Amino acid sequence: MKIEVLGTGCKNCNALEAATSRALQELGMDVAIEKVTDYGEIVAYGVMSTPALAIDGEVKTTGRVPSVRELTDILTGATA
């Protein structure tokens, strides 16, 4: 499983990374979170509002920081 946080280091991008790692912790999953900060790469994902979360190359959310609960839903949906 590959988890990527797409964003260029704004406050919300760090918040998304923190929330995602909390969600992973709650699920007892040990997966590293990768950060994608290159503008060209972010846009190539089809993302125009950061922060965005991509799992295995598929963008799940953009433009907002979902709650930890929503993130655990997304993460369990992705592993199932």
Partner 1 sequence: MSVFLPEPGTRRTSRNLWGLVVAAAFAWLVGYVVNGRVWDWLVFDVVGLDPESRLGEAVHFFVYDTTKILLLLSGIIFIVTVLRSFVTIERTRALLGGRREGLGNVAAAGLGVVTPFCSCSAVPAFIGFVAAGVPLGITLSFLIASPMVNEVAVILILGMFGWKVAVLYVVFGLLVAIVAGYVLGRLRLERWVEPFVFETKLRGDVIEPSTDMPWEDRFAFGWQEVKTIVGKIWPYLLVGIGLGAAIHGWAPEDLFASWAGAGNPLAVPIAVLVGIPLYSSAAGVIPLVQALADKGVALGTVLAFMMAVVALSVPEMILLRRVLKPKLLATFVGVVGVGILTVGYLFNVVI
* Residue choice 46, 76, 77, 78 for contact with partner 1 (CB under 8 A): 46
Instruction: Assess whether 33 carries a catalytic annotation.
Output: no
Q: Where are the beta strands (DSSP E) in the chain?
A: 3-6, 33-36, 52-55, 58-62
What single letter denotes the amino acid at residue 9?
A: G
Closer by beta carbon to partner 1, 43 or else 78: 43
What residues pair up with 59 in beta bridges, in sequence order?
A: 54
Please count the other Cβ atoms lying within 10 Å of the Cβ belonging to residue 66. 18
Please count the other Cβ atoms lying within 10 Å of the Cβ belonging to residue 18. 14
Query: Closest approach of Cβ 29 to partner 1, in Å?
Result: 18
Query: Closest approach of Cβ 39 to partner 1, in Å?
Result: 5
Q: Does 61 bind partner 1 (CB under 8 A)?
A: yes
* Residue choice 48, 56, 77, 78 for contact with partner 1 (CB under 8 A): 48
Active-site residues, by number, are 10, 13
